[in-house]
Structure 1
Amino acid sequence: MNTTTDNWHEVETTARRILGDEIVAHIDQCRQTSEPQSHLIGVLHKIQAQHGYLAEAHLDAVAQLMQIPAAKVAGVASFYHYYRLQPRGRFLINICLGTACYVKGADRVAQKLIEELGIQFGETSTDGVFTLEGSRCLGTCGLAPVLMIDNEVHAQVTPDQVPVILEKYLSRVRRESHASSGPTGSLTPLRRLP
């Protein structure tokens, strides 16, 4: 990829709109080094930290600014599990599926989460409130089965506790939404199965 000087101003202006001035300035610094491509992972981390995920527009802007083929940028972003290519929910639910949690019923807790939220692992609820992920170990084996919502650990969770736990976070979103813009009816109610 070789962006000509004629349209460089347009490329940079578009990138600033998509990525923000701080990230474009960081990329400009990276481009001044002898191996600018070696900074790609760090650049992607900065973008995700600022925007929450890596949108296709982010990746295209990085490719143009860093003069790296778009396929390579997309390949790096999709290869590493850390990067998100879709927006995550307001709350990230991470359920431990490691051995200690699994033998104490994490599979049943996971199934209840899937049923209540109506999503699978790696997906975000349609209301944008929850993203569900699984982990091999959260390092809290003595509290099994465990799920973590953002940085809050929920220990010795049973399937029956799942709706109560989720409602706690939905209530928080409702309060925040009500405080900022009045009542909202846009939150998807939890699924109740017979």
Structure 2
Amino acid sequence: MLARLAASRFNEIRQIFRQVFRPFPLPFFSLPFHITDFFFKLFGFPLSQPSRAFSTALNYHLDTPDNNPKLPWEFTEANQAKVKEILSHYPSNYKQSATIPLLDLAQQQHGGWLPVSAMDAVAKIVEVPPIRVYEVATFYSMFNRAKVGKYHLLVCGTTPCMIRGSRGIEEALLKHLGVKRNEVTPDGLFSVGEMECMGCCVNAPMITVADYSNGSEGYTYNYFEDVTPEKVVEIVEKLRKGEKPPVRTLAMIYFIIVHVLETYTFLDY
């Protein structure tokens, strides 16, 4: 993420230099930029590429019939018990520290996205102005401010996965499902998004499947590593049939072989 941010900022600075020094025949300023362009185009990812956008992480709000402050929203009875358990981890005068886990719970309950009324409910629980919760929800791309599918497929887009073919994996998913990035399929089952590094670079490329099909009670968030365009299509079809694709990763298999772990996933480790 930092590398992509640095590349984006460097591109902006480069454009400024080009505009400022264009009238002057100064090869000192032009040569490095041309070399940089050549180098990045040679390897397939020029700095001039457009910035990626996480459209499910909207940083603004417009009232709609299904997303406005007038719609009632509250945690279910089962989740209210979870709210109390979450709050118990923090001093009573630091309830705001529970904002992120409560937003995560609200998102799970609401089918994978956060309406403004859910954020207002969280703000009331942690006793802060609603704007403080809005700031958190719009800062982190893991919080979806727009509807997603019951199975939200997140493709890692950072450097190791990109070099290992994550763009082809995303294209395969979008083509197979017949949607654009962050669009939901007509049956409401699937959506495809992009996510920053998920920490499994050794087994790149990888995707994550956020399963909101059974609410917060059945919510799962599984990694699938060392995937190919063919494998991700197989994962989609198994999910469509109601099956649970195996989530064993190369890291997990390695641990089993050397008898370090037996039935644990890399996340458990």
- Superposition TM-score tier, normalisation by shorter sequence: 0.5 to 0.7
* Match 2:166 to one of 106, 113, 136: 106
What is the root-mean-square deviation in Å for CA atoms of aligned residues?
3.7
- Distance in 1 between residues matched to 2:197 and 2:94, nearest whole Å: 36
- Distance in 1 between residues matched to 2:160 and 2:97, nearest whole Å: 39
1:97 maps to 2:121: no
- Distance in 2 between residues matched to 1:117 and 1:74, nearest whole Å: 32
* Count of residues paired in the alignment: 158
Please name the residue that 1:151 is paired with: 222
Kindly indicate which of the two structures has a greater share of residues assigned to helix. Answer: 1
Shift of 1:157: 0.4
Secondary structure at the counterpart of residue 94 of structure 1: strand
Q: Percent identity of the aligned residues?
A: 27
Assess if the C-alpha contact under 8 Å between 2:148 and 2:182 holds in 1.
no
- Distance in 1 between residues matched to 2:226 and 2:203, nearest whole Å: 5
- Distance in 2 between residues matched to 1:138 and 1:76, nearest whole Å: 20
Letter in 1 for 2:75: L
1:166 maps to 2:236: yes
The answer for unaligned runs of 5 or more in structure 1 is: 1-13, 174-194
- Distance in 1 between residues matched to 2:172 and 2:122, nearest whole Å: 40
Over 3 Å counting, the alpha-carbon distance change for 1:107 and 1:57 in structure 2 is same
Larger relative contact order (Cα-Cα within 8 Å, sequence gap ≥ 6): 1
- Distance in 2 between residues matched to 1:62 and 1:138, nearest whole Å: 26
1:20 maps to 2:79: no
Over 3 Å counting, the alpha-carbon distance change for 1:140 and 1:74 in structure 2 is closer
Letter in 2 for 1:169: L
Larger Rg: 2
- Distance in 1 between residues matched to 2:104 and 2:231, nearest whole Å: 35
Over 3 Å counting, the alpha-carbon distance change for 1:43 and 1:121 in structure 2 is same
